[in-house]
Structure 1
């Protein structure tokens, strides 16, 4: 399985208690399952509202099972941002 880095932003960072951590996962779905297992509770709730970037590209509405991860890649976890 590819080794990837998951980077957390804003509320996801606060809930995870870290800004980034390594995971081994072949798909985004597998990576997020690992996150939920490692961080049950608030981060699991925050993830429901997040969008994701894979190596800088938005995932959008694609099924997370179909989003392949590459060795050395980065998953960015982006909660909704307030703005104005």
Structure 2
């Protein structure tokens, strides 16, 4: 099972209480399930509104179960940003 780094930004970082942490997961869905187990409170709620990059590529509308993770890869957790 690949070891990946999950990086949190903005509200996700505040809810996780850390900027990044390692996980072992084959897919984005598995990684996010582990994140929810480790952080069942506010971060689990924030994740519902987030978008994700895997190794720099936007996940978009792809099913998270189909997004494979590679050894040494990075998952970026991006909450919605205010703008205008």
Q: How many residues align?
A: 84
What TM-score results when the alignment is normalised by the length of structure 1? 0.99
Displacement, 1:83?
1.0
Gapped regions of structure 2 (runs ≥ 5): none
Which residue is 1:67 aligned to? 67
Q: Cα RMSD (Å) of the superposition?
A: 0.3
Distance 2:20 2:14 in 1: 11
Displacement, 1:12?
0.1
Which residue is 1:40 aligned to? 40
Gapped regions of structure 1 (runs ≥ 5): none
